[in-house]
Structure 1
Amino acid sequence: MAEAVTSALNPLVFRLKMAHKVKKVTENLDSLANEKNKFRLTEGVGENEADSFDWRITSSLVNESEIYGRDKEKRRADQFAARQFR
């Protein structure tokens, strides 16, 4: 309470304290901005990225041209798939 009275009576003290608080807030905001850049975060408002994953539609179908190496495993996968559709 005494601090409020002192600040009200002395505008210079009030201004110095406010300047210190504003400086502290600015430093905190700068720190947050640096961390945002460090982690390569982007700014966005109102967009939920979970709703924009339409491209992740999955399927149990296998595109054989995208299977590389492991020929034995490829043959077993083909045989398994063929048995499922008999």
Structure 2
Amino acid sequence: MTVDVLYFAWVRERIGLPREQVETEAATVADLVTELTGREARYEAAFSDLSALRVAVDQQLTDFDAPLSGAREVAFFPPMTGG
């Protein structure tokens, strides 16, 4: 399956891309992260501490164990703060 993967804030800075299309066999978001970190060191750096990241699948906040079946978009970003 092909998914659009979006990166925001420092995740984008570490990877060097705002978005990309990824061909994946991943069943869950965690599986996708494993595939991405196996690509290059910049992905490994971006995903080195998953507790510092949030994820959304098709614009719905979710956990890293969320299934990807039928997903069109996955976004990674740091936690947001308000004020």
Higher relative contact order (CA 8 A, sep 6+): 2
* TM-score range for the pair, normalised by the shorter chain length: under 0.3
Q: Whose helix proportion is higher, 1 or 2?
A: 1
TM-score of the pair, normalised by structure 2: 0.21
Q: Whose strand proportion is higher, 1 or 2?
A: 2
